[in-house]
Structure 1
Amino acid sequence: MSVDHQDVSPPLPSSSCSSRATVTSHDPVGYDLRHTNERYRAEHDRISFESYGMLSPLLSGPPHAIHNGGNGNGIERQDSEISSFDNEKEAQRINRKMDRYLLPLLSLLYLFNGLDRGNIGNAQTQGFTDDIGALPDDLNLAVSLFFVTFVLFQMPSAAVGQWLGPSTWLPIMMLCWGTMTMIQAFIWGKAALITTRLLIGVFEAGFYPTCIIYLGSFYSRFDLATRIGLFYGQYAIASAFSGGLSYAIFQISQAWLKPWQLLFLIEGVLTCILGIVAWLWLPTRPMGAWFLSHDERQFVADRVNGVESGDVAYSSLTRRDFIETLRDWKLWFVLVFNICASVPVTAFSVFLPLIVQGMGHEAVEANLMSVPPAVCGAVGLYLFASSSDRHKERGWHIVGALVVALGGLVGLIGSVSSAAKYAALCVFLFGSYVPPPLTVAWLSGNTPTAGKRALVVGANGLGNLAGAIGSQLYRAEYAPGYKLPLVVTLGFVGVALTGFVAYRYTLRAVNARRAAIRKLKSAEQIETERVDTARYADRKWVFVYDL
């Protein structure tokens, strides 16, 4: 297939690009550049790999990670390589097939990631710190320090996942933190408590960004937020499931172990079993997806990569990817506000049973009563995420969720009766779980190169610094009402709300400035900018940011 100046990319399935972007000398800017971002992302992945192919020794991978077709420049392909799925109905059918085979297991894995992170809060309702010879405030310190290693190791762990491949790295991480969870059942003293939490933080750190990278290798950009929402929603479900599971385990009568020891052992064993299942079940990449036909695999790879590659390059990290990630203004701009928005989620994932207990419920009952608010969080996340994908919009959905959370928080602080507080808690969590996953979908969609995208998603994990803040807010001295911590949380949510509004308007202003630049350029200049490597990824003025 030959390619002339008028059309510089091969035909794509309609699901990934609803309109072909054609550049002509008569109309250099009369096309929707937003629809060209998928093509641009894939083409730039090839260019950046060829131009900056000297990889870090740590991250160097097998030579088959990038495959160029046709004449070697990644633009020309053989017709036989192009997927035959050319309508939205077929694309959605394949999406549903992947939803059946990938999402349930990945969601279950992330549920146990949340369980093993937050079960220490359930254990505390059964006198965990008293039994191990520690103080209640030692629990807050241990939770804070967990987030230190959890945050510090996010980017390195995501890079390892990019190198080894998610289907290998995810099971390894699960086996490691599942083992540490079981060891936690037999610790004694403050030092052992802190050590185990630090190590669990190390092993859990890369799980979420690696899963996002993995999902991004199967789903197109505006199919992704709904899936991330369903996936991240397991963090909320984990709080609900943890409450119900803890309630059931705490009913078991036996003389050998404390209830909290049994909790850690059961959840740790289940995590290790699931890690082995994941090792056997998850395909390495789209072209190795055993549940898809050959044509379906090719379609998925074409849709994500857009051009030449028949597979996803997990090892294509370059030095320039690292440099450009460090200087990516939009990442560091939004990260501050993502931290603020994440304070409620990270704090309540651990301390929700204690907050519910403070409303007048007994210790065991509090675990059960923490289920409905957590379910509300999962439902809210799914509704906002699916709407975000349907309308192809991120910013106002995040802002809307923060408004809901703000309203619930005001009700939680101002209410007098336990019933009103409990209802306000449900409203608060309905909006609280939305911003973090939509932020990562937003950043991922606005980062067109695969290597940098992995690093940006990993760096966004710094938002989990909110956990260190939240764990110090909800201290035992503020029980049972936790009024001061809730007021401080209100301030964080308010700052996040303001920041996300400013972030969206900033991206809009950048788009307007780039549109003005394009109006002054010829078709040849636009095409040169698209394929040239002087400006990298989304720094090019042909790239249009999603809002």
Structure 2
Amino acid sequence: MSDLEKHASSHDEREDRAIDLDIPDPDAHLSPEERDQIERRLVWRLDLILIPWLCLLYLLAFLDRTNIGNAKIAGLVPDLGLTTSQYNIALTIFFISYSVFEPLTNVLLKKLRPSIFIPIIMFLWGASMTGQGFVYNNSGLLASRWFLGLTEAGLFPGVNYYLSCWYKRSEFGIRAAIFFSAAALSGSFGGLLAAAIEKLDGKGGLEGWRWIFILEGLLTVVVAVISFWMVHDFPDDARFLSEEDRARVIRRLRLDQQASSKHEDWNTRYLYDGLKDWKMWLGMAIYMGCDMPLYAFSLFLPSIIMESGWSNNSIHTNLLSVPPYAAAAVLTVIVGFIADRTRQRGLCNILSSLIGIVGFILLIASDSPAVKYAATFLGALGIYPCISNTITWMANNTEGVYKRGVVLGFVIGWGNLNGIVSSNIYFDPPRYLQGHGVVLAYMIIFLFGGSILMTTLLRVENKKRLEGKRDYLAEGKSEAELDLLGDRRPDFLYTV
């Protein structure tokens, strides 16, 4: 049997399986053209209802975790009497609480419902952010950063997991990219906002950097309250869906070999399945190769620009930090679109990472302020697209609602734990050779090298499945038992 015939046969089997599971098809009487038109309208409606608000939430989350970089050049360090080591520890402690609790949050999201869980954690991190504006010593800063990490832990892995339960594998990448582009936009928006807020210096007897924390924290609290009405639950329970649209959403997911959120109950087996999956461990390595550079870049970009000699005051520096983030946001969406269409997520990672590698080589090698500023663009372009692309890659290749939640939690949690490294490598201004060198090593070894290895191994596995060398796994099994195999099913082909 040819590869094409195998694909056709596999699709027919999935159609039969959806019917066997008694998932109604409200459009069975329509022509293929009419069905396609209805599906396009449905997906467009999902996009309009789900994506914009989630992007706003992540923009605020990333703004709140990285605005300490803007506050630093606005006077936070001397006003609190911090040493360089104490400031870096304040950055580090966020990633400890953030990473430790991330693997747990997707299970909590599933059990508590997104419409309850996400607004609650958002309200709590907004309160932590606001409180950070009233700290007067190192201990207070450490406490506020710890609770900020704890309360933000559930958003990024939770939303990626949540979106993967709404969209087909071939649709998820561009949505994840648009969602994550909010992080890049937060860099642009954060620089502009910090430059404006800093002008409040002295108002109410408070320094400008305090107003950055207070006003951005209060904005988060307000949006959190509104989110109780704006964040929706999983497809099986979302109230904005009619019964016909609910059937359409669930059916198209099942035809794409994805489990419905109500067809699984939590079992520790899903945890063990994730821990035994080599893709999770390699995905953790790849993700740390882009996530550590992401935090190094976002936390220290204002300092890098100022120390390069390209800027001589904090307001100008914050404004100069805007364009690299804006460029990264655009490329992130473009890469997400291309990866969805080509299903070559590994190749997209490889090519994007090369751009970033060149950027950090220039940061190390050049003394020219203009070249260094141009290199920050290349660095951003090489890092940001790989974040959402890697998460999508892992979600595409992990079947089972709970297993996917576990895998994404571990991958993202481990990546964010490497934010500890990001916080402790930029000690040597103005050239920051140590910091740039560590970032470069991460990108070459883990992101670039890991993506090559993952792509190769997945291609080898797909070849074996197409040749029937994994068919023995399905012998003698019922359809329900085959479903339990998840992405180990012989007819499940990985996205490379």
Query: Fold-level match, TM-score > 0.5?
Result: yes
Partner of 2:157: 209
Counterpart in 2 of 1:503? 454
Q: Corresponding residue for 1:433?
A: 384
- Matched with 1:6 is none
2:425 pairs, out of 455, 470, 473, with: 473
Q: What are the within-5 Å matches in structure 2 for residues 31-42 of structure 1? A: 31-32=6-7, 36=11, 39=14
Amino acid at match of 2:440: L
- Structure 1 distance, partners of 2:253, 2:13, is 8
| Greater mean deviation of Cα atoms: 289-298 or 399-408 | 289-298
For the residues of structure 2 that align with 1:392 and 1:303, how far apart are their CA atoms?
18
Match of 1:187 in 2: 135
Q: Judging changes above 3 Å, is the alpha-carbon distance between structure 1 residues 137 and 82 closer, same or farther for their aligned structure 2 residues?
A: farther
Q: Across the two proteins, how many residue pairs are aligned to each other? A: 489
CA positional deviation for 1:315: 6.9
CA distance in 2, matches of 1:499, 1:379: 25
SS of 1:434 mapped into structure 2: helix
Q: Does 1:483 align with 2:465?
A: no
Aligned to 1:463: 415
CA contact 1:29–1:519 (8 Å) conserved in 2: no
Q: Distance in 1 between matches of 2:453 and 2:3?
A: 31
Secondary structure (helix, strand or coil) at the match of 1:416 reads: coil
Cross-structure match for 2:343: 392
| Displacement after TM superposition at 1:378 (Å) | 0.9
Paired residues of 1:325 and 1:452 also in contact (CA < 8 A) = yes
* 1:61-92 deviations in Å (ceiling 9; x for gaps): xxxxxxxx99xxx6244555979695444323
Q: Is residue 2:280 matched to residue 1:331?
A: yes
Provide the residue aligned with 2:299 in structure 1: 350
Cα distance in structure 2, aligned partners of 1:532 and 1:440: 28
Aligned amino acid, residue 415 of structure 2: G
Matches within 5 A, 1:245-264: 245-253=193-201, 254-264=203-213
| Cα gap change, 1:85 to 1:426, in 2 (>3 Å) | farther
In the alignment, is the contact (CA less than 8 A) between 1:206 and 1:458 conserved in 2?
Answer: no
Query: Which residue, out of 362, 372, 382, partners 1:411?
Result: 362
Which stretch has the larger CA shift, 369-378 or 190-199?
A: 190-199
- Report 1:197-276 matches (<5 A): 197-253=145-201, 254-276=203-225
Q: Which has the higher helix share?
A: 2
Distance 2:189 2:31 in 1: 40
Query: Which segment drifts farther, 350-359 or 284-293?
Result: 284-293
**Which residue does the alignment assign to 2:91?**
143
SS in 2 for 1:532: helix
Check conservation: 1:37, 1:544, Cα contact below 8 A: no
Asked if the contact 2:132/2:144 (under 8 Å) is kept, the reply is yes
Structure 1 contact 76–308 (Cα < 8 Å) conserved: no
One-letter code aligned to 1:258? E
Q: Is the 8 A contact 1:133 1:189 kept in 2?
A: yes
Following superposition, the deviation at residue 210 of structure 1 comes to 1.0
* Counterpart-to-counterpart distance in 1, 2:91 and 2:12: 41
Aligned partner of residue 536 in structure 1, secondary structure: helix
Q: Does 1:178 align with 2:140?
A: no
CA distance in 1, matches of 2:226, 2:31: 31
Q: Distance in 2 between matches of 1:151 and 1:319?
A: 21
2: CA distance, partners of 1:324 / 1:402: 30
* Alignment partner of 2:318 out of 361, 364, 367: 367
Residues of 2 paired with 1:314 and 1:180: CA distance? 37
State the Cα deviation string for residues 171-226 of structure 1 (Å, max 9, x = none).
Answer: 01100100011111111222221121111111111111111122122211111110
Name the structure 1 match of 2:60. 112
Q: Distance in 2 between matches of 1:519 and 1:471?
A: 45
Tell me the CA shift for residue 296 of structure 1.
2.8
Matched, 1:493 2:439: no
> Distance in 2 between the 1:291 and 1:535 partners?
30
Report Cα offsets for 1:388-433 as digits up to 9, x if no partner.
0111221101111101111222222223321121112112211211
Alpha carbon RMSD of aligned pairs, Å? 3.0
Contact 2:258 2:399 in 1 (8 A): no
User: How far apart in 2 are the matches of 1:117 and 1:110?
Assistant: 11
Call closer, same or farther: CA 1:294–1:466 in 2, change over 3 Å.
same
Distance 1:485 1:84, change over 3 A: farther
Residue 488 of structure 2 is matched in structure 1 by 539
Q: Sequence identity, in percent?
A: 28
In the alignment, is the contact (CA less than 8 A) between 2:165 and 2:401 conserved in 1? Answer: no
CA, structure 1 residues 34+108, in 2 after alignment: closer, same or farther (shift >3 Å)? Answer: farther
Give the TM-score normalised by the residue count of structure 1: 0.82
Residue of structure 2 in register with 1:516 after alignment: 467
Distance 1:28 1:426 in 2: 42
**CA contact 1:129–1:135 (8 Å) conserved in 2:** yes
Judge conservation of contact 2:391–2:408 (CA < 8 Å) in 1.
yes
Look up the equivalent residue of 1:313 and give its one-letter code: K
Task: Provide the C-alpha distance between the structure 1 equivalents of 2:397 and 2:260, rounded to a whole number of angstroms.
Answer: 21
1:28-107 to structure 2, matched below 5 A, reads 30-32=5-7, 36=11, 39=14, 75-77=21-23, 86=32, 87-107=35-55
Contact 1:33 1:543 in 2 (8 A): no
C-alpha distance in structure 1 between counterparts of 2:339 and 2:3, whole Å: 31
Tell me if the contact between 1:229 and 1:382 (Cα under 8 Å) persists in the aligned partners.
yes
Structure 1 residue 281: Cα displacement = 1.5
Letter in 2 for 1:472: N
Measured in 2, the distance between the counterparts of 1:417 and 1:479 equals: 15
> 1:311 and 1:131, CA in 2 relative to 1: closer, same or farther beyond 3 A?
same
Distance 2:347 2:2 in 1: 32
Q: Is the alpha carbon distance of 1:470 and 1:30 closer, same or farther for their aligned partners in structure 2, counting shifts above 3 Å?
A: same
Q: Deviation at 1:137?
A: 2.1
Distance 1:167 1:526 in 2: 42
Corresponding residue of 1:164: 112
Q: 1:83 to 1:443 in 2, by over 3 A?
A: farther
* Contact 2:25–2:251, Cα closer than 8 Å, also in 1: no
Output the CA distance in 1 between the equivalents of 2:176 and 2:72.
31
**Residues in 2 aligned to 1:271 and 1:397: alpha-carbon distance in whole angstroms:** 33
Q: Which amino acid aligns with 1:354?
A: S
1:519 Cα shift? Answer: 8.6
Instruction: Please give the alpha-carbon distance, in whole angstroms, between the structure 1 residues aligned to 2:314 and 2:39.
Output: 49
Q: Quote the offset at 1:534 in angstroms.
A: 10
Distance 1:85 1:264, change over 3 A: farther
State the alpha-carbon separation in 2 of the partners of residues 89 and 438 from structure 1.
28
TM-score (norm 2): 0.91
Gaps of 5+ in 1: 1-25, 44-68
